[in-house]
Amino acid sequence: MPTSLLNFKQALKRTIADNIGQCIKQLEASLDPTRAVYNDCLNLLSAFNRLEKDNLNNLLSREEYSRELSKLSVAVLNLIDNLTEEDLSEVRHLREEVHERLLVVTRAERRPAIERFFSKNFFKNVHYIHYGDAIPTERFDLAVLDDIVTDPAASLYMEEYMDGIACYILYFGAHFSINREKYADKVYFANSIFSLYARIREMLDFIKYYDSDEPTG
């Protein structure tokens, strides 16, 4: 088996435990639509979406949901194991696209500009909130906090989000209003659009391969 294909399979398998939906979507983005396995992948994605919808609507017990999710995981693993080079389109698209779950916190007046930065062509799973909104309860892989220098309640908001967001944080801007040392193991920084792209990719790669459950701080 070519090393690139082996690495691709291993990378996919690593995502299953945390986010099987993300794994299936990455597969879909990387498969040749003319191959039969592409249809198999779409069927798995459809089954996953139905399962999540039924669970959200309280149609399944916890045991039923876990059992069906386990069956789906086995099916996805089998599909990955049987992949060939011919099944893949251009794996480079997977490297260009970002499927990890991002939380972006910004000001209302800044949101249109921020959304243009996080193009849906590349960032596939972005959730936006405005400063002052409640922190979502779902899990995210990385949070990006936009500069809030013009907000008079900057320090108050910063403390709230630093403490309440349960993942690594990338602060975009030069006016971080609280003690950096306190959050040195949790918060990292980018000062320009160019460095923001690079830091997002760098941090997601770090999170993927670093053997740690949660950030400290």
Domain assignments of the chain as residue spans, ordered by start: 3-94, 98-209
| CA 135 – CA 137 distance, rounded (Å) | 6
| CA 146 – CA 106 distance, rounded (Å) | 5
Read off the tokens for 188: 């990292």
Q: Which CATH superfamily is domain 98-209 in?
A: Response regulator (3.40.50.2300)
Rounded average pLDDT over 48-76: 93
The DSSP element (H or E) to which 204 belongs, if any, is helix 193-209
State the average pLDDT for the chain.
84
The DSSP element (H or E) to which 138 belongs, if any, is none
Torsion sign over Cα 104, 105, 106, 108: positive
Give the alpha-carbon dihedral of 57, 13, 96, 115, to 10 degrees: 20
Number of residues that this document lists for the chain: 217
Residue 31 clears pLDDT 80, i.e. is over it: yes
| CA 104 – CA 118 distance, rounded (Å) | 9
What is the structure's pLDDT at 78? 96
Residue 48 clears pLDDT 90, i.e. is over it: yes
Cβ 178 vs Cβ 155: under 8 Å? yes
Q: Using CB atoms within 10 A of its CB, is residue 38 exposed (0-12), middle (13-18) or buried (19+)?
A: middle
Angle at 186 between CA 183 and CA 189, to 5 degrees: 85
Provide the whole-model pTM: 0.55
